[in-house]
Amino acid sequence: MSSIITLTLPGEIMFARLASQTASSLADLVIGENREESAKRKFCHAFELAVSEAVTNSVTHAEEFDAPQMLTVTFEFEPRQLTVSVRDANPPFSIDKSAPDIESYPVHGFGLKIIREIMDQFTYRRDGDANIITMSKSL
């Protein structure tokens, strides 16, 4: 059995932090008390970082619109896995799997690289007019 929590947020950068801190808190809740402290910290940090990257990307792309777009962050708890989905109404974007260059300017393209590195699974799909990024990690 799974449980689902959904946040609906304005596409403004301050809410990226709210989403990432919520992700960390929920990860801490899910992983429980019996894990080693270092494993707990690593798990919570992974979700905080992945959600920060995904929501910041959404908000940054939403700035192309005149009015801030709403976005939805959904957390799904399963017995041994936590999954986060970020859904926005931005135009589609390409998933470039090549490594971005840190020496390029301005620095961009690292959000997805970080997510791929720290999460067990990452998918991007287009659903009608929406982008959906889904990220999960096992407990």
What mask of x and - would describe binding to another protein in positions 3 to 42, judged by CB under 8 A?
A: ----------xx-xx--x----------------------
* Residue of 75, 89, 87 whose CA lies nearest to 6: 75
Q: Closer to another protein at the Cβ: 32 or 106?
A: 106
Q: In what order do the strands lie in the sheet with 121-127?
A: 3-10, 70-78, 81-88, 130-138, 121-127
The answer to the question of residue 96 lying near another protein (CB under 8 A) is no
CB within 8 Å of 17: residues ≥ 6 apart? 52
Which residues neighbour 110 within 8 Å (Cβ) at sequence distance 6 or greater?
A: 53, 100, 102
Which residue among 26, 27, 30, 59 contacts another protein (CB under 8 A)? 59
Which residues contact another protein (rule: CB under 8 A)? 13-14, 16-17, 20, 45, 48-49, 52-53, 56, 59-60, 99, 102-103, 105-108, 110-111, 113-114, 117-118
